[in-house]
Amino acid sequence: MPAFDLTEAHKIIGERLRLIREERAKSITEAATEAGIAPKMLSKIEDGKANFRILTLGKLCKVYDVTLEKLLEDFRSGPAQESP
Instruction: Report if residue 38 sits inside a domain.
Output: yes
The whole-number pLDDT of residue 57 equals 95
Q: Note the pTM of the prediction, 2 decimals.
A: 0.82
Q: Which long-range CB contacts under 8 A does 60-66 form with residues at least 24 apart?
A: 60/17, 60/31, 60/35, 62/35, 63/26, 63/31, 63/34, 63/35, 64/17, 64/20, 64/21, 64/24, 64/26, 64/31, 65/24, 66/20
CA distance 22 to 55: 21
Domain span at residue 23 reads: 6-70
For CA atoms 63, 27, 51, 76, give the dihedral sign: positive
**Domains contained in the chain, number:** 1
CATH of the domain at 51: 1.10.260.40
pLDDT in tens, 44-64: 999 999 999 999 999 999 999
User: Is 13 within the bounds of a domain?
Assistant: yes
Is position 48 within any domain?
Answer: yes
Determine, yes or no, domain membership for 79.
no
Q: pLDDT by residue (tens digit) across 2-57?
A: 566 788 889 999 999 999 999 999 999 999 999 999 999 999 999 999 999 999 99
- Is 81 inside a domain boundary? no
* Domain membership flag for residue 75: no
